[in-house]
Chain A
């Protein structure tokens, strides 16, 4: 009985976390280069299996635990959030400092912030007081030869990322891809930090004068939000039903006349 209440409560907490993430997606529907996030939900048994199974020599016992009577269903838990890598639509701005990668969402601009190397899809760059190409928060945009520095009164970026000042090539934008995009950690400001293997790529198309919109589909988010609401409500009703039964058990069944 109390288990049932716990499971319903777990369901509510999971839905609450999902709602937080949907709201963040909706808040960032107009953010340049924003990547949609979604939550992954697994059954409790599955998680237990994996957590315990991860320890050496415990495979057998974890299986036994997970399949023991009464362990088949134990509610749900959120196991993590994943970043969606699909490319957002490109919007023309006409500003030469706006750049977008047209590569099915694989590559990222490499930038150097005070906290170290980061990655971003938001190509809304500008000029720093020192003449470097920087992001809105002042991080340097990296080329193959280090931070990109512009000179002269005219600059262009070709389709393959080569930057030319006054017609002379100076550097090539460093675009990075990841072995596993699940290992990208968000650090705000539309930027990511890598936790796994990275490598430079030349397999991209660069569009100067364009910006990539967020890859959030508002319809999906609204539908998800409705589902979350109803799921939350269903779990709430289950909890209430359990509570009612418990009340009957305690007050009616156990009444001593």
Chain B
């Protein structure tokens, strides 16, 4: 009977973690380029009273509940939102922008809310990290083409647009293996798999859309349904605790007076 209590408790804890995760998804509904994650559950060990396959019976195995095995991030495409800001760039496809962190290492992001840093003459992320494209100070009317080419018009030039830079994208065999470090940034891990870098539009990199931002890939209705399911599953497990408690009470009542 005590087993049922702990089993149900493990179910309650698992659903609580599930709700924590869904809440984080919902909280990031408006974060540019945010990718939702989900919790994967696995059943716990089994107490084997009798091995299956012995004699004519199917054995007796009683499970000990559930645990959270891992969280998985899902890199499906978010919808694009028009902003008309020339430094807002969204990726339509699988690629990531490569960002150089202050310590010189690389990070990757889907968040294309960039700005121009006049001091370093570079295109940088919202938090000031360069993405490896520099534009001379005297260039206006910056245009980012779907294939990543950056064009601009020189102030004292002949008025013709000329190519001033190239945005490149990176993709991974298993983007779910990337490690989120906050600030919409991910760093590479060994389980992210093979990395390839190319210009947008090539080799499944996805093309760029200037003047757009990629919204999070959260579907609010889906998340709300998940939260209802998680809450009901939590309740079911709580009923399991109550039932176990009630049965123990009945056992105690066997001996009266």
Contacts and interface: CB of A to CB of B under 8 A. Distances in A.
Contacts of A222: 236, 239
Interface residues of A, number: 72
Given A95-B176, A182-B58, A185-B61, A22 B42 contact: no
Given A82-B58, A136-B70, A153-B194, A27 B65 contact: yes
Given A31-B41, A129-B191, A185-B48, A79 B57 contact: yes
Interface string B1-38: 10110011011001100100000000000000000001
A94 B76 contact: yes
A80 B51 CA distance: 9
Contacts of A151: 194
A229 B243 contact: yes
A126 B52 contact: no
Contacts of B76: 94
28 contacts: A19-B247, A22-B4, A23-B3, A23-B244, A24-B7, A26-B11, A28-B41, A28-B65, A30-B66, A31-B42, A54-B55, A79-B57, A79-B60, A81-B59, A95-B72, A97-B176, A124-B72, A127-B173, A127-B191, A136-B40, A136-B42, A153-B172, A154-B173, A155-B173, A185-B53, A188-B43, A195-B53, A229-B246
A7 interface: no
Interface in B217-236: 229-230, 232-233, 236
B181 interface: no
Given A26-B8, A27-B14, A31-B41, A196 B53 contact: yes
A229 B173 contact: no
B44 interface: yes
Is the contact region of chain B dominated by helix, strand, or loop, or is it mixed? mixed
B119 to A, nearest CB: 35
Contact of A188 (B38, B44, B236, B246): B44
Interface of A: 12, 15-17, 19-24, 26-32, 34, 37, 39-40, 50-51, 54, 78-83, 93-95, 97, 122, 124, 126-129, 131, 136-137, 150-155, 182-190, 195-196, 218, 221-222, 225, 228-229, 232-233, 236, 239-240, 243
